[in-house]
Amino acid sequence: MDIKKLKEEIINGRRLNREDELNFFKTVDLKELCKSANDIKNYFCGDYVDFCTIINGKSGKCSENCKFCAQSIHHNTNIETYDFLDKERILKECKHNESKGVDRFAIVTAGKKLSGNEFTKAIDCYKTLKEETNIKLCASFGLLDDDQFKTLVEAGVKRYHSNIETSRNNFKNICSTHTFEDKINCIRRAKAAGLEVCSGGIIGIGENMDDRIDMALTLAEEGINSVPINALIPIPGTPLENLERITEDEILRTIAIFRFILPEADIRLAAGRNLMSNCGKTAFISGANAAITGDMLTTSGNGISDDINMINELGLSSRRKEEEKNE
């Protein structure tokens, strides 16, 4: 396969699907692959980088048994646990992130599904965030039902996050307390309620490149426009604690492949960025155009100002800054 020719076909409207022979992605020269992926990114996404931040609104005591997760009650990781945070703390963090130039702010919670009084608290919090900030609001509360999604929209939430984690075939090796179809149905309910959806997964959890390609194809089929790619940092106390860490070349190849399969989506660097040199700087010229950042995060190695300086050094700019310039 001529990767440069395929790049031009993608730019001119071709979209890859399950009928295509995609094995060449595994062996094509990495530099050529990343260069072409960056060209596709530049064509569809420009020179903007979309930054989002998250706050862990509820920690630990999760009923699900996802093998990678420190917050599961099935694993012994000794993490801090707490119920839904006070609104004042969340609002303070949101305003801080907005002031630093971040595009989006998300509250994320551990557990299969946020419900009851804690969901009510979350809705009240979002109403306040909508009134007192101009940042785009996102949420990640598990496998919600139709009415809950509608309530989120009414409270001002624009985007919902629900990772499919891996390929359909590999999912059963990672989690048994809910299914891959549960994830897909959650995505479809969120979209039906009028929400954008952010969905991706984790690489380096024992899957192969075929699984990663399959995951990208599934996300394309579901029309996902924001795709976080996490690289596993094995956590002591989880079933995956002894896995070898994924290499930077593998991460970059995966990002570039995702760009070919999802040419118009935001390909978002997430956890595990510090497995790459310079916190993933090369990824931003290999197909990635978005990232999770934050001054309170430990999974990237960079703070917000560090990330903005990084992309500026590459001749890129934050999307929010550019949007404000055009208003």
pLDDT higher than 90, residue 15: yes
The Cα–Cα gap between 185 and 201 comes to 16
Tell me whether residue 167 is in a domain: yes
pLDDT confidence of 296, banded at 50, 70, 90? low
Tell me whether residue 3 is in a domain: no
Which structural domain range is residue 242 located in?
28-326
**Chain segment 29-56, per-residue pLDDT in tens:** 999 999 999 999 999 999 999 999 999 9
Give the percent of the chain with pLDDT over 70: 95
pLDDT higher than 70, residue 302: yes
Tell me whether residue 88 is in a domain: yes
**Chain segment 127-156, per-residue pLDDT in tens:** 999 999 999 999 999 999 999 999 999 999
> In the chain, where does DSSP find H-type helix?
3-11, 30-45, 87-99, 116-132, 146-155, 168-171, 180-192, 209-221, 248-261, 304-313, 319-326
Tell me whether residue 170 is in a domain: yes
Tell me whether residue 180 is in a domain: yes
- pTM of the predicted model as reported, rounded to 2 decimal places: 0.93
List own/partner pairs for 23-26 with CB under 8 A and 24 or more apart. Answer: 25/209, 25/213, 25/253, 25/257, 25/260, 26/209
pLDDT higher than 90, residue 78: no
pLDDT confidence of 324, banded at 50, 70, 90? low
pLDDT confidence of 80, banded at 50, 70, 90? confident
Per DSSP bridges, beta strands 201-203 and 196-198 are: unpaired
Q: Which two tokens stand for residue 244?
A: 């070898």
Amino acid at 40: I
The Cα–Cα gap between 133 and 103 comes to 12
pLDDT confidence of 301, banded at 50, 70, 90? low
Q: What is the DSSP string of 151-211?
A: HHHHHT--EEE---BS-HHHHTTT-SSS-HHHHHHHHHHHHHTT-EEE--EEESSS--HHH
Q: How many domains does the chain have?
A: 1
- What's the CATH code of the domain at 298? 3.20.20.70
Tell me whether residue 14 is in a domain: no
Tell me whether residue 124 is in a domain: yes
**Chain segment 254-279, per-residue pLDDT in tens:** 999 999 999 999 999 999 998 998 88
Tell me whether residue 20 is in a domain: no
